[in-house]
Amino acid sequence: MDQQQVTNNLEYLRTRIQEACQKSNRHFSEVKVIAVTKYVTVETAQNALAAGIEDIGENRLEGLQEKVESLGVRPTYHFIGSLQSRKVKQLPEELSYIHSLERTSLAKELDKRFKEKEQLINCFVQVNVSGEESKSGVKPDEVLTFIENLKTYRSLRIVGLMTMAPFVENPEQTRPIFKQLRQLRDQVQLEGWSHAPCKELSMGMSNDFEVAIEEGATFIRIGTSLVGNEKMSG
Ligand SMILES: *Cc1c(COP(=O)(O)O)cnc(C)c1O
């Protein structure tokens, strides 16, 4: 996708974000857009940066490595997919956020990986709010215990919660999912754990980001409607 197209898409996206913020009495600056580049070429990712994007998200290790190699340290990198523990060693040091922490074994490997670098890795705990079997994530009623137990992993900072809503025709139907994630986030915050400031909510994709913003999203993960899906459509 060429630069003009990405720029136009971003402009339109920002208008919609602004409207969702107004509707819910929030400020535009509270919502960060992660450009999900998993289906696009390095060139398109570069065009997104040129258009003003600062955050790049990938759901596979290989995709992340490819983008880091060609884009360097300019963007902030987010890993948003499920990750096998044995692959953690290969995560690039440039990674700032992982959105899919959902098992203790993964926490343990991440801690090892980033302890070596004396680096903190920002983690979102992925929650399976919808309860769909196909989705990964901690069960809502296990979130507090799960996070409390992460305090032994000193290189992890639990910055927030993440969820994926089911794909539905009418995005309004996703609202209860996002609302529940926000309530869980508030509960974790009340605990006041120093390893888990848990201020952020990573929720909302191309199909449902407006509802997510109205319910408090601070990071939205946008692929198709921003950079398209070149690799899918061939
Ligand atoms: C692919 C993906 C997205 C972006 O999806 P779009 O519908 O293309 O915006 C967001 N989050 C995760 C975890 C993804 O895998």
List, for residues 9-36, the tens digit of each pLDDT value. Answer: 999 999 999 999 999 999 999 999 999 9
User: What's residue 233's pLDDT?
Assistant: 54
- Structure letter (DSSP) for residue 138: B
Please tell me if the CB atom of residue 205 comes closer than 6 angstroms to any atom of ligand 1: yes
Is 80 near ligand 1, meaning CB less than 6 Å away?
A: yes
| Average pLDDT in the chain | 96
The rounded distance, in Å, linking the Cα atoms of 114 and 92 is: 10
Whole-angstrom Cα distance, residue 173 to residue 68? 36
Please report the domains of the chain, with CATH numbers, ordered by start residue. 3-227 (3.20.20.10)
Ligand 1 pocket test, pick from 206, 221, 222 with the greatest ligand atom count within 8 Å of Cβ, gives 221
Q: What is the pLDDT of residue 119?
A: 86
Ligand 1 atom with least separation from CA of 36? 4
Give the pLDDT confidence of 141-200 residue by residue, as tens digits. 999 999 999 999 999 999 999 999 999 999 999 999 999 999 999 999 999 999 999 999
User: Which of 32, 89, 88 has the alpha carbon at shortest distance from 57?
Assistant: 32
Mean pLDDT across the stretch 35-41?
97
Contact 143, 163 (CB under 8 A): no
Best residue among 6, 53, 205, 210 to mutate for probing ligand 1, ranked by most atoms within 8 Å of CB: 205
Quote the CA–CA distance of 204 and 145 in Å, as a whole number: 25
**Would you place residue 122 in the very low, low, confident or very high pLDDT band (cuts 50, 70, 90)?**
very high
Residue 231: pLDDT over 80:
no
Percent of the chain with pLDDT over 70: 99
